[in-house]
Homo-oligomer: A and B are copies of this chain.
Amino acid sequence: MIFMKKKAVCLISGGIDSCVTAYLAKNDDYSIYALTINYNQQHKKEILSANKIAESLKVKNHITLNIDFSKFGGSSLTDKSIQVEKNRNFNSIGKNIPSTYVPARNTVFLSIALAYAEAIDAEGIFIGVTSTDYSGYPDCRPEYIEAYKKMAKLGTKKGIQGKPIKIKTPLLYKLKAEIIKIGLDLKVPFEHTWSCYKGEKKACGKCDSCLLRLKGFKESEARDPIEYDFVPNWYKN
């Protein structure tokens, strides 16, 4: 009898959370089918990072799908006329929905992953959403994920045949520092990940995403291996 590994579609964005999530899937002995959505965000550094991460994971396949969200606008990540917030303090991050919110992004990403998972008969989808120190996005909350699971079960052939595709969110209740610690244990190549909302040579160290990343490394008592243009004093000490 040939032993067939169970398959998982892993959404890989290029950031820390999706990278650690995919390494968790690998650690669970899934055969990884990586999926990256190029939604025409303002820079392509994330896509390059996703490619390096997929390579390091030795995935079975890596599909990069283009979906041009810039046709819709409505977010600073896809619309050049909207400014990304910077230098905010941690008390304001997560209080309001910031300009970087991309309308229905996780819903679109999960839906594409669902299509892929059903087409290849995968057991599950892994997505690196976190609700704990999240940036204020509605589509990162546990109640949203639960509702998504119900909808996905009812809307797929596998679902109505009693084998719904599992939606796995192993980091949902983890803090950034905990995620980084898990990643360090799994020997995740953090040097390949990219979090900064800007796509310069070095990370800016000022946007919400850089700040949360640096705070996570600080709290996990590790050093972030990527280069920054600017580093806040609290990280240095």
Query: A: which residues have CB within 8 A of B?
Result: 63, 65-69, 71-75, 97, 101-108, 110-112, 114-120, 138-139, 141, 143-144, 147-148, 150-157, 159-160
Q: Is the Cβ of A151 less than 8 Å from the Cβ of B119?
A: no
What residue of chain B has the Cβ atom nearest to residue A71's Cβ? B63
B103 in contact with A108 (CB, 8 Å): no
- Shortest distance in angstroms between A64's beta carbon and chain B's nearest beta carbon? 9
B154, A141: Cβ atoms closer than 8 Å: yes
Query: What is the interface of chain A mostly: helix, strand, loop, or mixed?
Result: helix
User: Quick check: B144 and A72 within 8 Å, CB to CB?
Assistant: no
Query: Smallest CB–CB gap between A135 and chain B, Å?
Result: 12
Closest 6 CB pairs of A and B: A74-B119, A103-B118, A72-B119, A147-B151, A104-B115, A139-B155
A147's partner among B69, B110, B155 (CB-CB below 8 A) is: B155
CB distance from A167 to the nearest CB of B (A): 11
A209 to chain B, nearest CB (A): 18
| Cβ-defined contact, A157 with B72, below 8 A | no
Asked if A67 meets B157 with Cβ closer than 8 Å, knowing A107-B152, A120-B72, A151-B144, the reply is no
Determine which of B72, B118, B138, B156 lies in contact with A156 in the assembled complex, contact meaning CB atoms within 8 Å.
B138
Q: How far is the CA of A144 from the CA of B104 in the complex (A)?
A: 18
Q: Inside 8 A of A150's CB, which chain B residues have their CB?
A: 147, 150-151
A106 in contact with B65 (CB, 8 Å): no
Give every chain B residue within 8 A of A116 (Cβ-Cβ). 72, 103
If A114-B103, A115-B103, A147-B150 touch, whether A71 touches B67 (CB-CB below 8 Å) is: no
Cα distance A117–B102 in the bound complex, in angstroms = 12
Kindly state the separation between the CA atoms of A153 and B147 in the bound complex, as whole angstroms.
9
- With both chains docked as a complex, state the minimum distance between the C-beta of A140 and any C-beta of chain B, in angstroms: 9
Bound-complex Cα distance A159 to B118 (A): 28
Q: Which of chain B's residues have a CB closer than 8 A to the CB of A108?
A: 108, 111-112, 114-115
Residues on the B chain within 8 Å of A152, using CB = 104, 107
